[in-house]
Chains A and B, each alone.
Chain A
């Protein structure tokens, strides 16, 4: 699994803990990492991803449908699952304010073994650590 994840583009380091069943992925400095590819690589290595959390820095943007998203790269953003924390960030939409958040990108649905790659990952914000 460590090798599978380490081969993905944008990955600098992978730490796997057998004891607590967790994998920590550190992106390269450019941050060009694709969580969907990491999920796929995890399945390819023969294990099931139960949950994926991400810490990211970016801007809050509002798309044409009125939904809010965290933009982490010019061409990559994650739609926000509405909750109290995301509501608190809505006022920052389309401003230059950068926020650092920790959130859940994926959680395995009960009874499912594999994530559906056609379903875009949504970010459920668990913690807002910085606004600048």
Chain B
């Protein structure tokens, strides 16, 4: 792979990765009426 393509790939990863790492990690609910 040419260095130009590598640089482009690195740029794309740096743009996309912060959002792809964003996520809901855990949800906890308190509920009523459960039997």
Contacts and interface: CB of A to CB of B under 8 A. Distances in A.
A58 B22 CA distance: 4
A73 B19 contact: yes
A38 interface: yes
B30 A27 contact: no
Interface in B1-35: 18-19, 21-35
B33 A100 contact: no
Contacts of B33: 46-48
Interface of B: 18-19, 21-35
Contacts, number: 105
22 contacts: A1-B31, A21-B30, A23-B29, A25-B29, A27-B25, A27-B26, A35-B24, A35-B27, A42-B29, A48-B31, A49-B31, A50-B29, A53-B28, A54-B24, A55-B27, A56-B23, A71-B19, A71-B22, A72-B23, A73-B19, A73-B23, A98-B22
A55 B29 contact: no
Contacts of A26: 26
Contact of B34 (A1, A35, A53): A1
Nearest to B23: A31
A27 B24 CA distance: 7
